[in-house]
Each structure stands twice: as C-alpha cells, then as structure tokens.
Amino acid sequence: MRAITIKAAWNGHSDCQRCGIRESALFAELVEADFALLHDQIDDIDYPPGAALYHAGANGDWLFTLRAGAIKLVRYNADGSQRILRILRRGDICGLEVLVGSAYDHTAITLSPVMLCRIPRTLVERLNRDTPRLQKPLFERWHAALEEADAWLTELAAGHADVKTRVARLLCRLGNDGEPGLVTRLSLEDIGAVLGVAPESASRALGSLRRSNLLADVPGDRHHWRADTRGLAALASPTREN
C-alpha cells in the first residue's frame, strides 16, 4: 500500500432542488420549505479514482450521495486481505450507518472518477426530527442496502456456480445506465475481493468471456469494458430448459 495524496475538487454547494438525480435521491420527497434548511450545507465534490471517502471505524460526520462513478465498500481481514461488500452506483447512498452509531462500518474507496454530494449527519438528523417526510426514504435506503447484500450472498458468493458464471453475474451488475454495453472495469484484485477468488482465477474467467466475444476492452479507456449484456445474462442465469 502506498500513501496517496488525493486532491478532491470542491464544486460549491449543491442545489438539491435541481439535482439531476433528485427523483431518486434521499431528499426526493421534501417540499419547498424543507429546502431552506439544506442551503449551503451540502457540498458537491469530485474525487479521482482510488480515493478513500472514509475508513472503517472512523467517526462519521457525513453521508454521501453518489451522482456519478462507482465506489467500493471494503472491509479488511485480519491478514490484510480485502473483502468488497458492496459496489455503489449512481443514486446510491453511503455512510447511512452514521445515523445509528457514529462510526463508519466500511472503508469507502472510489473505483472511477466520482461526483458526489456530501451531506452532514447533523442535517439529516435535524430534518428527520422536523419533518416526517424523511423517514420513509431512510427506511427504503436501509432496505435497499440489505437487499443488495442478500443478492451478493445468493448470486456472487460461492456455491453451485463456478467462477466464470459468477464473474458474468458481477459484470451484469456493473452495467452503466447511460451507455448500454459499457460496464465499469474492475482490477483483477477487486474482482477477487468481491467473489472471494484468486485474481488469477478471475483473469482466466475474463479470458474465457473475451474468447466467447462477450467482453472486450475499450481502446483508450481503462475504466470500462464493452460487454454483451444479453449474452452475459444468459450465462449468469441457469435458465436452461432440459
């Protein structure tokens, strides 16, 4: 591990009322009056790939809403190896746990250039006290996180599916909403840390997918792959009729 000096770029305060992901954001159901409280408290920040938003166990003063890019939530084992527990995409929230305890449960690291909103914990707590409108979205966020964890346990964890199948499933989950066929690229080490396999095994699985024309590099773009989403999905689901 090397020390990285990351310069996060501050883009000013967020205008939540005109936010591009407003309809899916935490504050979707707030009304005009509520937004007065938000003014100047939420910062709009960019991070380069590989930046740490926060570390597991650290005291948490902020929640984050991801507006573009991808973030991995990581936990480190006693032996120093990492395990990736979730990968967050546009519209996802991270750091929700600071509303319960005050420490972060995971380490959050950017996988690509990231644009996000940084929301003070105290603001969410105050809004939640003052209006009943925030509670439902908060419950829904908890539920979504749990659903995601459950899906990883069923689809991505070992058992009844070989590495190639699970890599295909992972790639399906990494699809970019905007451009179909474009998936965010992970390092072999990261794929290994998601699936619990050796990086070499991940490489062999990717190689096999490439040879089947289900996956290809994007020339000049080291942050994405080009993927045959339908083909991968067919491989990923055991929908064979026999």
Positions touching DNA (CB under 7 A) are 2, 159-160, 162-164, 187-189, 196-201, 203-204, 206-207, 222
| Number of alpha carbons in the 13 Å side-chain half-sphere of residue 3 | 1
Distance CA(17)–CA(73), nearest Å, equals: 28
| SS3 of residue 196 by DSSP | coil
**Residue closer to a copy of itself, measured from CB, 61 or 97:** 97
End-to-end CA distance of the chain: 49
- Host H or E run for residue 144: helix 135-151
Q: Which of 68, 115, 138, 233 binds a copy of itself (CB under 8 A)?
A: 138
The amino acid sitting at 33 is: A
Interaction between residue 2 and a copy of itself (CB under 8 A): no
**Interface residues for a copy of itself in 147-206 (CB under 8 A)?**
147, 149-150, 152-154, 157-160, 192, 195-197
Under 8 Å CB-to-CB from 125, ≥6 apart: which residues?
99
**Residue closer to DNA, measured from CB, 179 or 200:** 200
Q: Is 20 left (phi over 0), alpha (psi -120 to 50) or beta?
A: alpha
The β-bridge partners of 115 are: 46, 68
Distance CA(175)–CA(181), nearest Å, equals: 7
Interaction between residue 221 and a copy of itself (CB under 8 A): no
Q: Which of 146, 200, 210, 234 binds a copy of itself (CB under 8 A)?
A: 146
| Residue 206's binding partner out of DNA, a copy of itself, none, with CB under 5 to 8 Å set by partner kind | DNA
**Interface residues for a copy of itself in 13-52 (CB under 8 A)?**
none
Contacts to a copy of itself by CB under 8 A: 75, 77-79, 81, 83, 85, 97, 99-101, 105-106, 128-129, 132, 135, 138-140, 142-143, 145-147, 149-150, 152-154, 157-160, 192, 195-197, 237-239
